[in-house]
Amino acid sequence: MKPLLVLLSMFMLLSGCASQPDDGLRCGVVSGYLDPDQSQDFYRAVVTHLDGKPVISKPNYRISPGEHTFTFAELISAPSLKVKLAARTPKDLVIRVEANRRYHFAAKFNTGKRYRGNDSGFWQPVIWLEEAHECELPVK
């Protein structure tokens, strides 16, 4: 009986030492690498700023959980869009990032009316797909 208690005690002690994910390394991913569904008026977009700081656009942004403000520029190539270059301004989207989730962004072309001239209301940044995705920030 005593050897069994010793063995159980050692097992419990070792299981307490088992590696658990570090909550400080938890993250979510905001992505733009997938081609959005143009049949639903979703087009590519690129990130210009993250939380107010300029960034070089990349396919994935691994970030800590919480609210983050992304600034996007749209890449809408619809032939029906007739706005001036000055109307193609960047727009912000606040994304509430959860750990182990991936958020795919796009530019939503608002096709409800004709857009011409300086009308910047022709698009908005959106999350068009959300999915489970394991994520851990690199150790610094």
Other Cβ atoms closer than 10 A to 139: 7
- Tokens standing for residue 9: 């005690």
d(CA 118, CA 122): 10
Does the global pTM surpass 0.85?
no
Partnered with residue 63 across adjacent β-strands are 28
**In angstroms, rounded to a whole number, what is the distance separating the alpha carbons of residues 94 and 78?**
26
pLDDT along the chain (140 residues), means of 10: 50 46 81 95 97 96 97 92 90 98 97 82 96 88
Task: Please give the helix or strand (H or E) that residue 61 lies within, else none.
Answer: strand 60-63
